[in-house]
Amino acid sequence: MKFTLSWLKDHLETDATLDEIVEKLTMLGLEVEGVEDPAQRLAPFAVAKVLEAGPHPDADKLQVLKVRALIEGEEKDLQVVCGAPNARAGMSGIFAPPGATIPVNGMVLKPTKIRGVESNGMMCSERELELSDEHEGIVDLDGDWAVGTPASEVLGANDPVIEIAITPNRPDCLGVRGVARDLAAAGLGQLVIDDIPEIDGKFESETKIWLDFPAGAEDACPVFAGRMVKGVTNGPSPEWLQKRLKAIGLRPINALVDITNYISYDRGRPLHVYDASKVSGDIGARLAKQGEKLKALDEKEYELTPEMCVIADGARVLGLAGVMGGEESGSTEETTDVFIESAYFDPIRTARTGRDTGIVSDARYRFERGVDPAFVRDGLTLATRMVMQLCGGSPSAEVIAGAEPDVSKTISFDPARVKRLTGLDLPREESIRILTALGFDVTDGDRLTVGVPSWRPDVEGEADLVEEVVRVHGLNEVKSVALPRRHEVSQPVLTTVQKRERLARRVLAARGLVETVNWSFISGPHADLFGGGAATPGLKLANPISSDMSDMRPSLLPGLIAVAGRNTDRGYGDLALFEVGQQFENETPEGQVLAASGIRRATARPDARGCHWQGKAGPVEVFDAKADASALLASLGAPVDNLQISADAPAWYHPGRSGVFRLGPKNVLGYFGEIHPRVLEGMDVAGPLVAFEIFPEAIPAPKRKATRARPPLDLADLQPVRRDFAFVVASDVPADKLIRVAKGADKKLIVNVSLFDLFEGGSLGDDQKSLAIEVTLQPVEKTLTDEELEEVSKKIVAAVEKATGGTLRG
Amino acid sequence: MTDQSELDRLEAEFTTAIEDALDEATLEDVRIAALGKKGRVSELMKGLGKMSPEERKEMGPKLNGLKDRLNEALAARKSALKEAVLEARLATEKVDVTLPVRDSALEQGRIHPLSQVYDEVISIFADMGFAVEQGPDIETDNYNFTALNFPEGHPAREMHDTFYFEPREDGSRLLLRTHTSPVQARTMEAGKPPFRFVAPGRTYRCDSDQTHTPQFHQIEGLVIDEETHLGHLKWTLEEFLRAFFEVEGVELRFRPSFFPFTEPSMEVDVRCARLGNEIRIGEGDDWLEILGCGMVHPNVLKNCGVDPEKYQGFAFGMGIDRIAMLKYGIPDLRAFFESDLRWLRHYGFAALDVPTLAGGLSS
């Protein structure tokens, strides 16, 4: 919303300075986004007199002028080369001295030579000063202006333009008068009394108004008022009006259109003027019919739907109600008889029509936020009077259909609410004063009875009134009050999963991985590769920002792998990256899963990476990912000893070099492995690349214990005994199985089994392998005898052979 | 009976031999020659038994003294030789200690600035007694808008450039939450007042330019009880910002604004100084908009099953990415999500750099 200072002063009698007004606007919630003072922009420019004008020796279209200008307080005669046809001796114009910045193009003037002739400065056109589009010639001033008079004074360009941001709850401030009312309430002056006397119609309008809505849709346009004005002379509007419109960025069209635009900004009251000769029969409002079309004022044709409210005559649609008029029925310079429309349109329907057609207009902007329904007739009167003043003509009596919707609201308000909600102890009188100044109708009593003005659709209850009072009184008067502490020493607040999420980041970073935060959405093809995409249509965005960001990610890996690709392309290929965040199985809240996932690429191994004089790190492998995953699971409190590891990871992993961590048959805690070569190819990222995914929410919650005490430590006095065994087993026997069986052979004595050798191939052939384990036995009561040792060994061998079908290696 | 001169000769002979021994084997040979089973000193000692008591009384101490002195000399020489051998070995065992070691994992890993700031923010609010609540990214229209007093068709909805999913069978459409405020509604609906929590999380708007990314992060705060008012809100924000930016004090400016879910609604500016591209919080004479807040709208309380006649309180929301940029001087929001390794290493934090109130939020 833009307006000029002088415009504001039409409604506000004030001595306040521009700075005071700007500061107050912001503190009232009408945030000032910019102030443009044309006087400042025009500061370098001033009146100069052309003393002589002669031909340029080398160019037919140029003249060489002798110009008298005021330079640093002294009158000087300067030579200026000028191309304007209207430049002549004796005229006064606006001069730009060297060093000035030309507003229209930001060019800084310098003394120069034009076709060999020295030129010091420039005589300006209106366009160069951004005053209008006029550039046929230079400014040719009427009257006798002293050399050096500031251009802003001569051109009347000394009216600062203020731009404010209006929040959607304040449609009343989409008119200058509403802004003035707020400022007056805040003590910055007096609101000018508004008197809109009725107009006596000279005749009855032959054009009547009708409303035709099906039951239930009457609120689309509850009231429609109009008036015929005959015998108008349309043409350019007067300079003061054009200047104001231009100042706020509107293009003057003709007097009739300019009047409606002016009242739209002055009062927040959109209007429309029809050329009566182009209207057949009566005018009314109805819903559009399927298949109807309208060529609007923006010269585009719109297909209308039965949801939209239109203005129509007996023959056709004239305009989209509250959004934009039609091209054919608009006023032109030839228009002599006009029909002025002032109506109220439903905000929601207007907003929908605006969205569906994509039309952005000042009318839509106001109607969808809610114009003052009680100002329909006053708006018509204002417009009629302005038409008569600027264009002449004879007005009809008002015609009207329907009635203003009743928006009257009364709120029972306890002024003590102000203190309760804000802590600000204001006298009751101050609340009454502020509300009254804002146009509320306040009756004092036990509680206040507050009538809400028709232009404030946003005020519904006591909290809104509190806001009005503190907003105008000054929010910064509110004093800080300490929030009471809940506990003298603060207590932990994080849940188990929240703690795990935090810890996961620290653990993975401590293992040398770098944390990334990637997009929650990825491309459809990438989602397809990780079990999402086409398989989960509920996770596809209807309005993605680009096709690369169309699907909610089913896994954190596609994001990480893509990042690996981009960094590799930049020359950083040894990558260990992770992310802890949300991934999506389906669109329900339960389908959002927390994952802690990571990748390692090229030689970014846990213990060494890249080239080093102590040895080059080899390529990453599945066991690097498994190490990360295991370490993370252990840190997050997973019962690592009870986890089952199986080789049935999802399709995006290498089928032979990947695994799944499970706790029981159903509960998957995570995956690890090499990424499937086909997936890497599909994402155009080169390997080797290994990955892991851990799901912290799947880890069982820790048991709550009564005390924090650890169980007593039972240290055996006796030396542990270690024995080695090597077994030949079939190639497909999982090592984990052998270790578990060996461990279980004597639960009392065996405290550890570690696998220290794997041998494949050679004399064993293709279908067998040798696994060697070291078993640690911890005697408890007495040293083991040879016989006892022999007995345990036999148990171990028997158990392993039975479970794996293998044999002890001789 | 051996005379003294013979003993002296013997001692001199062995002492010289000990001193001349250049390695442990030679020294051992000398020991055997002197004190071994058939060594010359041992032989003399064997003769003691055949002597008369007087002779034995005289010779015994002499021979024992000789034996002791030789043993001492042997041990000393043995130790000296061992030392010499070690010295010789050490002299050959020289390395270039300037050779580089491998970077440790701890030096290579990084925490994203967003996570670090998240931890900082949570530690401050935890101390102020705020729990941490979370909600889903994929939301219903109800929780994102309607329950928060954004009526259907209200232009305030258009201030949020919302990502939608395709309509479901019943015509309803899920969306990506445009703010963390749905967590207010979900948490109040599921619990009973009083409430005091923050809700950090990822939020989305279909908007992308220099300063906007389609995803960003917010933290929401909510306090609902029977007394909490605007003054408490002001204090909470002042204390939070002072602690977060690790400055002596902050000055806030509250400007009236509009959010459908609060009434009164405010935007908060913090006093700052702008020095080129750098922004310093807590000094200077400029203002920087930092968050939005207000008293929870009675309609929101009602929609969430809380009696607005009895309970009241405040809500605030701010961008985690934004305060991270401000605190750590990170110029571009988009870079947060581009995962350029160089950026991550530069702006990231060490794994063990855990923010605490006791040790200071940042090291």
DSSP H or E stretch at residue A228: strand A223-230
Rg (CA), chain A: 42
Q: Do B115 and A466 touch (CB under 8 A)?
A: no
Q: What distance in Å separates residue B284's CA from the closest CA in chain A? A: 18
Predicted pLDDT of residue A275: 94
Residue A770: name the closest of A781, A762, A782, A758 by CA.
Answer: A758
Q: Do A606 and B105 touch (CB under 8 A)?
A: yes
Q: Do A614 and B102 touch (CB under 8 A)?
A: yes
Pairing of strands B131-132, B195-204: parallel
A29 touches chain B (CB under 8 A): yes
Q: Do A479 and B129 touch (CB under 8 A)?
A: no
Q: What distance in Å separates residue B280's CA from the closest CA in chain A? A: 22
Closest to B206 (Cβ–Cβ): which among A27, A537, A545? A545
Q: What distance in Å separates residue A166's CA from the closest CA in chain B? A: 9
| Chain B positions in Cβ-Cβ contact with residue A493 (cut-off 8 Å) | 122, 126, 129-132
Q: Do B166 and A27 touch (CB under 8 A)?
A: no
Long-range contact pairs involving A291-299 (C-beta distance under 8 Å, separation at least 24):
A292/A317, A293/A317, A294/A319, A294/A320, A294/A326, A295/A326, A295/A327, A295/A328, A296/A320, A296/A324, A296/A325, A296/A326, A296/A327, A296/A359, A297/A324, A297/A325, A297/A326, A297/A327, A297/A330, A298/A324, A298/A359, A299/A327
The span from the CA of A349 to the CA of A371, in Å, is: 14
Q: Do A168 and B238 touch (CB under 8 A)?
A: no
B330 touches chain A (CB under 8 A): no
The span from the CA of A574 to the CA of B102, in Å, is: 14
The span from the CA of A802 to the CA of A789, in Å, is: 20
Of 3.40.50.720, 3.30.930.10, 3.40.50.970, 3.60.20.40, which CATH number belongs to B113-347? Answer: 3.30.930.10
Q: Tell me which residues of chain A, numbers 431 to 470, contact chain B at a CB-CB cutoff of 8 Å.
A: 461-464, 466-467, 470
Interface test with B, best of A28, A414, A517, A540 (most B CBs within 10 A): A517
Closest to B165 (Cβ–Cβ): which among A498, A517, A540? A540
Residue B193 is which amino acid? P
| Complex-level ipTM beyond the 0.95 threshold | no
Predicted pLDDT of residue B57: 87
Q: Please report, for residues A487, A502, A505, A605, the alpha-carbon distance to residue A672 in angstroms, rounded to integers and kept in the order given.
A: 44, 21, 18, 15
Predicted pLDDT of residue A58: 86
Residue A618, SS3 per DSSP = coil
Predicted pLDDT of residue B2: 67
Q: Please report, for residues A241, A428, B227, B228, B306, the alpha-carbon distance to residue A484 in angstroms, rounded to integers and kept in the order given.
A: 58, 28, 10, 9, 21
B69 touches chain A (CB under 8 A): no
Closest to B255 (Cβ–Cβ): which among A31, A508, A515? A31
Looking at residue B111, the DSSP 8-state letter turns out to be: B
Predicted pLDDT of residue A647: 92
Q: Is A729 left (phi over 0), alpha (psi -120 to 50) or beta?
A: beta
Residue A221: name the closest of A327, A342, A130, A317 by CA.
Answer: A342
DSSP H or E stretch at residue B11: helix B4-20
Mean pLDDT per 10-residue interval, chain A, length 810 residues: 95 94 95 89 88 88 89 88 88 89 85 88 86 81 86 83 93 96 95 91 93 94 96 93 92 94 96 93 94 91 94 92 90 92 94 91 94 95 96 95 93 94 94 96 94 95 95 93 90 93 98 97 96 94 93 98 97 96 96 98 92 91 97 95 92 96 94 97 95 97 88 87 94 92 92 94 88 93 90 94 90
Sign of CA dihedral A263, A268, A269, A272: positive
Residue A114: name the closest of A105, A106, A123 by CA.
Answer: A123
Q: Which residues contact A205 (CB under 8 A, 6 or more apart)?
A: A226, A227, A228, A339, A396, A397, A399
Q: Do B126 and A492 touch (CB under 8 A)?
A: yes
Closest to B137 (Cβ–Cβ): which among A420, A520, A538? A520
Q: Tell me which residues of chain B, numbers 93 to 152, contact chain A at a CB-CB cutoff of 8 Å.
A: 99-100, 102-106, 108-112, 114-115, 119, 122, 126-132, 134-138, 152
Contact, A507 vs B105, CB < 8 A? no
Q: How many CA atoms lie within 13 A of A412 on its CB side?
A: 3
Residue A421 is which amino acid? L
Looking at residue B253, the DSSP 8-state letter turns out to be: E
Q: Do A542 and B312 touch (CB under 8 A)?
A: no
10 Å Cβ neighbour count for A105?
Answer: 9
Residue B327: name the closest of B31, B114, B63 by CA.
Answer: B114
Q: Do A518 and B110 touch (CB under 8 A)?
A: no
Q: How many CA atoms lie within 13 A of B210 on its CB side?
A: 1
Tell me how many residue pairs between chain A and chain B have CB atoms under 8 A apart: 265
Q: Do A492 and B164 touch (CB under 8 A)?
A: no
Contact, A672 vs A658, CB < 8 A? yes
CA dihedral A315→A317→A319→A322, nearest 10 degrees, is 110
Q: Tell me which residues of chain B, numbers 159 to 178, contact chain A at a CB-CB cutoff of 8 Å.
A: 159, 163-168, 173-174, 176
Predicted pLDDT of residue B48: 84
Interface test with A, best of B241, B289, B341 (most A CBs within 10 A): B341
Interface test with B, best of A470, A485, A541 (most B CBs within 10 A): A541
A513 touches chain B (CB under 8 A): yes
B190 touches chain A (CB under 8 A): no
Q: Which domains does chain A have, with CATH numbers?
A: 2-37+160-191 (3.30.56.10), 40-154 (2.40.50.140), 209-402 (3.50.40.10), 411-477 (3.30.56.10), 496-698 (3.30.930.10), 721-808 (3.30.70.380)
CA angle, corner A145, sides to A143 and A147, nearest 5?
Answer: 150
DSSP H or E stretch at residue B216: strand B215-225
Q: Do A505 and B137 touch (CB under 8 A)?
A: no
Q: Tell me which residues of chain A, numbers 331 to 360, contact chain B at a CB-CB cutoff of 8 Å.
A: 347-348, 351-352, 355
Where in chain B are the domains? 4-92, 113-347
Closest to A483 (Cβ–Cβ): which among B102, B165, B232? B232
| DSSP line for A687-753 | S-EEEEEE-GGGSPPPPP-S--PPPPP----SPPEEEEEEEEEETTS-HHHHHHHHHHT-TTTEEEE
Interface test with A, best of B263, B333, B352 (most A CBs within 10 A): B263
Q: How many CA atoms lie within 13 A of B294 on its CB side?
A: 25
Supply φ then ψ for residue A162, to 5 degrees: -110, 130
The span from the CA of A321 to the CA of A204, in Å, is: 25
DSSP H or E stretch at residue A4: strand A2-4
Q: What distance in Å separates residue B19's CA from the closest CA in chain A? A: 45
Predicted pLDDT of residue A463: 93
10 Å Cβ neighbour count for A130?
Answer: 16
Predicted pLDDT of residue B185: 95
Contact, B213 vs B203, CB < 8 A? no
Predicted pLDDT of residue B59: 86
The span from the CA of B188 to the CA of B67, in Å, is: 96
The span from the CA of A481 to the CA of A421, in Å, is: 13
Q: Do A518 and B339 touch (CB under 8 A)?
A: yes
Supply φ then ψ for residue A530, to 5 degrees: -115, 30
Q: Do B153 and A351 touch (CB under 8 A)?
A: yes
Spans in chain B with pLDDT lower than 70? 1-2, 155-156, 158-159
A508 touches chain B (CB under 8 A): yes
